[in-house]
């Protein structure tokens, strides 16, 4: 009998509990007093709760009794727990929730920074794919970046000339470590391409100044590249173009925790040069063999070990009419072998610590010959022009290593510190016309220590402060470089930021060894930015001032130009504008960038401070992309303009440098156009993918002049122009075993 009684009693009790209920109600607001809809209000460990409505109000009944915890959670806000005592009455709980500071919602320290990545950040004004679909970029990483404000349209030599700085003032980093020979070896007055395929990188950060203390030895700019972690699928690739043939293979492990791959690329410009007339006569058209290999391991859920190895050999030889002596020809030949290896490791450790390690090694060999030839292509030696016949053997060995430790503090605030080591060994053997050998070697290392902190006080205010210390063994000097930036969100889509920093750099190695007592060159940056970002549209306006001190001044000692003092100086100021719109017209995407630059400097052999020949006052780029779905074709166009750059001829006269000629070249215009046709796009069950590319640079055949070159005596000058007026590129790229059409289908939704 008793059990039944108990049963009945217990059922009765349950009923009693159900009978008495409390009501909880209230209104939920953020710290500015705005109601928050969609907040999940819960009595912890019960089913009872409610969701706040559009006015932030909520109300619910509960049968729970006694002391409980009321839990409030909402996307974008910090959750809150409140103690409540339920006594069967109505409880009014009005709560204020604090915004959660997340990378997504927080202001971005974006002054001087352009990012091409799929991360949602205000600095990410480009998508990774933009790097290869910018018509004037020629599929080269820096080519696309030259359409951004701050970068010059210098076409006669490779590299990024940023805000009045030389190409040597921009340094490139892959997975944190410095890259020494990012471009193919220089050829007089012909810009070279970058060595690395843009497809191996998932993120590109292009800083036009004021960059973080994690990077150094670059007076103007840092180009920071992050390699991809794991490929999405295994694949094989084949590429055939008028310039090259390539084949590659990438294998993803079954467990998707590792991958390896190898690629081979052969470039031969003889066909292209036979069809498109070049200014130079090539006895040996440029030919390049490239092999690269990689492996990537997922060492844990958050850890990666990545290796990238690169080998390349290229050679070329050409002659051109000599400007110094009529009827003779100047010959130039180059053979280069380059090995680059990069190993990096990243891992999230316990207690919100994170580690990044990287080491890279480069071995570079250049064999360069210059000579004077008669019409029968025999080497000749003319009195007064003996210097035209020479041989130069450069051997470089470079080690770079970097370690960064990061500790995440509250929210997304963090501290970072670490060390970097760069060692460079250069051996230069110069053989003069008379067979005399002038060997020189130079070894130097730079040890750096750095620390910085990001503090996000609220979603609207962020500060980054850092310090970098560098010691150069060659200069035997130590510097201290503070960096700081601050960003403030004015409204949901508008933010203002400011960046400041001191940047040091050793004098360029090609002018070393120099005088005793050399110091670092120095640049101070001040950058002010206003940015407005709405879905599909971004606008930024930036003003900057840059002050140069202790720049290298050079003079001729023996056969070579070397640093003679650190008395150079200069400044650069200007403003820039960037507007991108993907939204207004469907499937049409364009951006406009404009830079105004006012700069003067006294460095190298300049007689006094002048606007350098690599700095144009006005630079404008217009880039447009249009995808026509039914044709499976993307059309890309670009227009680049800069106002005429100054040119100078500087000659040594009675022990001092003087101008023998100067002026301004005509304005530069370039219109490029490319078409990408994807015939297998969306084809049913296609495991293959094909892209056909047709590209024309300087469509209208504008007469482009970069500057002037002068005869030794300064009596004659010739324009420096692109090697050909118009260039046409045709290529087919195929990928097997990867069903990318599915990706595109989903994209088309």
Task: Give the binding site for another protein (CB under 8 A).
Answer: 2-3, 6-7, 10, 14, 37-38, 40, 42, 44-49, 51, 53-54, 75-76, 102, 104, 118, 120, 127-129, 232-233, 535-536, 582-583, 586-587, 629-630, 632, 681-684, 740-749
Q: Yes or no: say if 577 and 541 are a contact pair by the CB < 8 Å rule.
A: yes
- Whichever of 10 and 703 has its CB closer to another protein, that residue is 10
- Whichever of 473 and 629 has its CB closer to another protein, that residue is 629
Question: Closest distance between another protein and the C-beta of residue 98, in Å?
Answer: 16
Rounded to whole angstroms, the Cα distance separating 646 from 617 reads 10
Can you read off the two tokens belonging to residue 350? 């316990």
Question: Closest distance between another protein and the C-beta of residue 6, in Å?
Answer: 5
Asked if the bond preceding 150 is cis, omega within 30° of 0, the reply is no
Rounded to whole angstroms, the Cα distance separating 294 from 228 reads 11
Rounded to whole angstroms, the Cα distance separating 245 from 243 reads 7
- Whichever of 46 and 300 has its CB closer to another protein, that residue is 46
Question: Closest distance between another protein and the C-beta of residue 13, in Å?
Answer: 11
- Whichever of 557 and 629 has its CB closer to another protein, that residue is 629
Can you read off the two tokens belonging to residue 641? 């303009």
- Whichever of 98 and 120 has its CB closer to another protein, that residue is 120
Rounded to whole angstroms, the Cα distance separating 676 from 134 reads 11
- Whichever of 127 and 377 has its CB closer to another protein, that residue is 127
Question: Closest distance between another protein and the C-beta of residue 210, in Å?
Answer: 25
Rounded to whole angstroms, the Cα distance separating 646 from 491 reads 42
Question: Closest distance between another protein and the C-beta of residue 691, in Å?
Answer: 13
Q: Yes or no: say if 471 and 199 are a contact pair by the CB < 8 Å rule.
A: no
- β-sheet bridge partners, residue 298: 304
Question: Closest distance between another protein and the C-beta of residue 499, in Å?
Answer: 24
Torsional sign, CA 681, 687, 692, 693? positive
Can you read off the two tokens belonging to residue 191? 């810009």
Rounded to whole angstroms, the Cα distance separating 446 from 15 reads 79
Question: Closest distance between another protein and the C-beta of residue 3, in Å?
Answer: 4
- Whichever of 103 and 718 has its CB closer to another protein, that residue is 103
- Whichever of 357 and 738 has its CB closer to another protein, that residue is 738
- State CA 440 to chain mean position distance: 34
Torsional sign, CA 717, 721, 725, 730? positive
Question: Closest distance between another protein and the C-beta of residue 285, in Å?
Answer: 35
Please name the residues in contact with 529: beta carbons below 8 A apart, sequence gap of 6 or more: 110, 111, 112, 496, 497, 498, 499, 540, 541, 542, 543
Question: Closest distance between another protein and the C-beta of residue 75, in Å?
Answer: 5
CA dihedral 631, 633, 634, 635 (to 10 degrees): -80
Nearest CA to 548 out of 525, 529, 582, 565 is that of 525
- Whichever of 32 and 684 has its CB closer to another protein, that residue is 684
């Amino acid at each position: 009998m008793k059990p039944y009684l108990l049963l009945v009693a217990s059922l009765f009790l349950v009923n009693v509990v159900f009978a008495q209920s409390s009501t909880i109600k209230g209104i939920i607001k953020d710290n500015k007093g705005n109601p928050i809809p969609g907040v999940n209000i819960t009595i912890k460990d019960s089913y009872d709760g409610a969701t706040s409505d559009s006015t932030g109000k909520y109300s619910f009944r509960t049968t729970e009794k006694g002391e409980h915890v009321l839990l409030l959670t909402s996307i974008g806000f910090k959750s809150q727990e409140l103690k409540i005592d339920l006594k069967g009455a109505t409880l009014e709980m009005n709560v204020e929730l604090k915004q959660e500071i997340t990378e997504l919602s927080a202001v971005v320290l974006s002054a001087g920074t352009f990012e091409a990545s799929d991360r949602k950040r205000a600095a990410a004004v480009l998508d990774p794919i933009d790097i290869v679909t910018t018509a004037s970029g020629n599929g080269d990483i820096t080519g696309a970046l030259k359409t951004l404000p701050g970068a010059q349209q210098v076409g006669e030599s490779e590299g990024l000339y940023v805000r009045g700085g030389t190409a040597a003032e921009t340094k490139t980093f892959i997975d944190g470590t410095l890259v020494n020979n990012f471009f193919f070896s220089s050829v007089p007055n012909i810009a070279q391409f970058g060595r690395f395929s843009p497809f191996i990188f998932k993120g590109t950060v292009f800083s036009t100044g004021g960059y973080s203390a994690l990077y150094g030895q670059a007076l103007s700019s840092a180009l920071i590249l992050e390699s991809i972690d794991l490929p999405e699928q295994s694949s094989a690739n084949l590429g055939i173009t008028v310039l090259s043939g390539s084949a590659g293979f990438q294998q993803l492990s079954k467990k998707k925790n590792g991958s390896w791959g190898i690629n081979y690329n052969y470039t031969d410009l003889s066909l292209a040069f036979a069809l498109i007339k070049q200014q130079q006569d090539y006895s040996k058209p440029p030919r390049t063999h490239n092999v690269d290999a990689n492996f990537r391991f997922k060492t844990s859920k958050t850890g990666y070990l990545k290796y990238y190895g690169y080998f390349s050999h290229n050679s070329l030889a050409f002659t051109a009419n000599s400007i110094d002596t009529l009827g003779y020809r100047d010959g130039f030949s180059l053979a280069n072998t380059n090995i680059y290896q990069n190993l990096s490791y990243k891992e999230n450790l316990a207690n919100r610590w994170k580690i990044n390690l990287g080491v890279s090694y480069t071995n570079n060999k250049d064999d360069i010959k210059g000579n004077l030839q008669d019409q029968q292509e025999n080497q000749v030696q003319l009195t007064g022009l003996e210097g035209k016949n020479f041989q130069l053997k450069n051997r470089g060995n470079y080690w770079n290593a970097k370690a960064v430790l990061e500790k995440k503090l509250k929210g997304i605030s963090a501290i970072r510190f670490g060390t970097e080591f760069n060692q460079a060994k250069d051996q230069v053997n110069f053989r003069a016309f008379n067979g005399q050998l002038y060997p020189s070697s130079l070894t130097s290392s730079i040890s750096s220590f750095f620390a910085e902190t990001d503090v996000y006080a609220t979603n609207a205010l962020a500060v980054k402060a850092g310090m970098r210390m560098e010691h150069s063994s060659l200069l035997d000097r130590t510097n201290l470089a503070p960096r700081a930036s601050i960003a403030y969100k004015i409204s949901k889509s508008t933010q203002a930021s400011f960046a400041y920093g001191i940047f040091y750099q050793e004098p360029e190695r090609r002018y070393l060894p120099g005088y005793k007592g050399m110091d670092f060159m120095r640049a101070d940056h001040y950058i002010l930015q206003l940015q407005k970002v709405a879905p599909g549209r971004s606008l930024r306006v930036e003003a900057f001032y840059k002050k140069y001190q202790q720049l290298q001044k050079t003079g001729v000692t023996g056969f070579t130009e070397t640093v003679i003092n650190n008395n150079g100086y200069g400044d650069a100021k200007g403003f820039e504008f960037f507007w991108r719109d993907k939204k207004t017209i469907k499937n049409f995407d364009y951006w406009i960038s404009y830079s105004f630059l006012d700069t003067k400097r006294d460095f190298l052999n300049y007689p006094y401070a002048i606007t350098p020949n690599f700095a144009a006052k006005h630079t404008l780029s217009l880039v447009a992309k249009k995808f026509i779905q039914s044709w499976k074709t993307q059309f890309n166009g670009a227009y680049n303009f800069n106002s005429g750059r100054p040119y100078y001829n500087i000659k040594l006269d009675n022990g001092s440098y003087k101008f023998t000629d100067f002026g301004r070249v005509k304005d530069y215009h370039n219109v490029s156009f490319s078409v990408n046709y994807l015939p297998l796009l969306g084809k049913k069950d296609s495991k293959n993918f094909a892209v056909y590319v047709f590209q024309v640079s300087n469509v209208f055949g504008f007469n482009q002049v970069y500057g002037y070159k002068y005869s030794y005596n300064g009596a004659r000058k010739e324009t420096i122009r692109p090697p050909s007026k118009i260039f046409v590129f045709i290529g087919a790229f195929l990928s097997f075993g990867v069903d990318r059409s599915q990706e595109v289908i989903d994209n088309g939704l």
